[in-house]
Amino acid sequence: MSYPVLASSRALFAVALAAIAISACARSADRAVEQSRASDDRSALQSRTISAADTDDFGAPLPTDARDAARVVSLNPTATEVIFAIGAESRLVGRSRWDEFPAQAASIPALGDGIRPNVEALLGARPTLVILYATEENRAAARALQRAGVRTLALRVDHIAQFMSLCAQLGVALDATERARVVADSVQRTLDRVRDATRGASPVTVVWPLWRAPVLVVGRGSYLDELLEIAGGRNVFHDFAAPSPAVSIEEIAKRNPDVLIASAKTSGELRASTAWRSVAAVRNQHLLLDDPSLTGRPSVVLGMAAVSLARLLHPDRAAALR
């Protein structure tokens, strides 16, 4: 899962939008693992049947007894937001300090980081189920919790289809299958509406910098790449399998994107940079200001994130996106 603001991948996930902080940390820690697993067939991933797998992303059996989820600690920002969306928040007895969405999550005790968590602190909340972000750095915590008799559910979202699967898996674990399906279906309907609205439009070529030193951009391994395609854009670094590959400004200039997506904070810095002005999109002021409150996390706002990007890339289609 990637809980992937636009100033950087770490700012995207850790500072401006804490819900994606886990993904940023994990991507730096197990980038080699992620790159090796990146799929070359995104369309097949997106069209996969939405269903709950028998195991989580660590291979542990999926909890199916509601008693296993009587007291839940969620250290996975996407999962926390979905739990609220399906009306199961009364089960939550703890969260990570990065779980900030929705605003009501602030009422749940914060138990520390979502990466390499303090297991003793988690056990102090007397959980029956701990939901982890599925990164290699959390395997030790999963094993320690299991030895203590606590069920774990490790999930990861780097792609839209994985968000749909997460909804289904949480629905099973929390005995809320139908409500979880309603959430997933709502997101999918909005994504389909955006795709329909931009169908036939000339694709706008895009570069989306996430970090500037080194320069990291959105690659094919990120849900952001998928959102761009749905919104009628074409990521000029789609050929890079990693979610946030390192590139040079010279390579960006060579690929000559029509537009550059930036945050309000970084757009001025990019315009003032001599190096970045070698990129025609920057030099010609073709910078689009993103709404990080929507695009900053692969969660229940994915549909609205696609809407916001489509409005930026194809303002002439805005009427169809209301």
- pLDDT higher than threshold 80 for residue 1: no
- pLDDT higher than threshold 80 for residue 15: no
- pLDDT higher than threshold 60 for residue 79: yes
Name residue 103's amino acid.
A
Predicted model pTM = 0.84
CB 195 within 8 A of CB 230: yes
- pLDDT higher than threshold 80 for residue 216: yes
- Give φ, ψ of 224 to 5 degrees: -65, -35
| Average model confidence (pLDDT) across the chain | 87
Q: Would you state the pLDDT for residue 52?
A: 65
Q: Would you state the pLDDT for residue 140?
A: 98
- 3-state SS, one letter per residue, for the chain: CCCCCCCCHHHHHHHCCHHHHHHHHHHHHCHHHHHHHCCCCHHHHHCCCCCCCCECCCCCECCCCHHHHCCEEECCHHHHHHHHHCCCHHHEEEECCCCCCCHHHHHCCECCCCCCCCHHHHHHCCCCEEEEECCHHHHHHHHHHHHCCCEEEEECCCCHHHHHHHHHHHHHHCCCHHHHHHHHHHHHHHHHHHHHHHCCCCCEEEECEEEECCEEECCCCCHHHHHHHHCCEEECCCCCCCCCCECCHHHHHHHCCCEEEECHHHHHHHHHCCCHHHCHHHHCCCEEECCHHHHCCCCCCHHHHHHHHHHHHCHHHHHHHC
CB 193 within 8 A of CB 312: no
- pLDDT higher than threshold 80 for residue 12: no
Question: Which residues are CB-contacts of 213 (< 8 A; sequence separation ≥ 6)?
Answer: none
